[in-house]
Amino acid sequence: MKTIGLLGGMSWESTANYYAAINRGIQQQLGGLHSAKIVMVSVDFAEVERLQSAACWSEAGQLLARAAQQVEAAGAECLLICTNTMHKVAEQVEQAIRIPLLHIAHATGQILTAQNITRIGLLGTRFTMEQDFYRERLERQFGITVSIPEQTERDAVHRIIYEELCLGNVRERSRSTYLRIIEHLAERGAQGVILGCTEIAMLVTPQHTHVPLFDTAAIHAQAAVEFALQRDE
């Protein structure tokens, strides 16, 4: 079994879900008392969020690159950045390490393609929804058209992530807001909706809506399980 590297803490709430999902995945595959071999460095999200808000992406990339090097030095054989938004600096992180980076949007694109999805809705932070680092990968590499909510809806999605979900607060009123937005995306032709922030699955799950949901944290964790168990050629 290969050792999985996690770059977490963004937020720790979703990182805890990653840890649980990866270990469950390994146990399901191998049975018994098996669990994943994991190395993790967890950063202080307050420092990262401050750089996000100030649009200091290069500095944020440097912070994550240093943390990624610590993960590699501890023996990890791959790296997962356990957040969608900070994949904006994925290339900067990737250049700082020698182990492969498993990109969350790439793993998601593979799942969407396997299910013949050609038009998808995207929820996430304002950065993920409005900037092209995430959407462009899905559109260019997988030919998937990505739809995002209207401006006022994006504002609500972003606020709920940072003011509630990243603090572990799950509120019924916010769930209702998200479900309305998901329905609007489906009405505009989306065949499903990407939960493109790793905390969103705390709020909405498939039991809440008829619209197919794609939980990127779960998809990313499964990609890590597959990497850990793949045989060397």
- Which stretches of 3-118 are assigned E, i.e. beta strand? 4-8, 38-42, 78-81
- The residue from 83, 108, 198, 216 that is catalytic is 83
8 Å CB contact between 8 and 86? no
8 Å CB contact between 121 and 104? no
- The verdict on whether 78 is a catalytic residue reads no
Euclidean distance between CA atoms 38 and 103, whole angstroms: 17
| The token pair that represents 180 in the structure block | 């309305």
8 Å CB contact between 17 and 33? no
- The residue from 78, 82, 197, 216 that is catalytic is 197
Euclidean distance between CA atoms 19 and 16, whole angstroms: 5
Sheet architecture: strand order including 78-81: 38-42, 4-8, 78-81
- The verdict on whether 56 is a catalytic residue reads no
Euclidean distance between CA atoms 216 and 213, whole angstroms: 9
Which three-class secondary structure state does DSSP give residue 35? coil
Neighbouring C-beta atoms of residue 208, cutoff 10 Å: 14
Catalytic residues: 83, 197
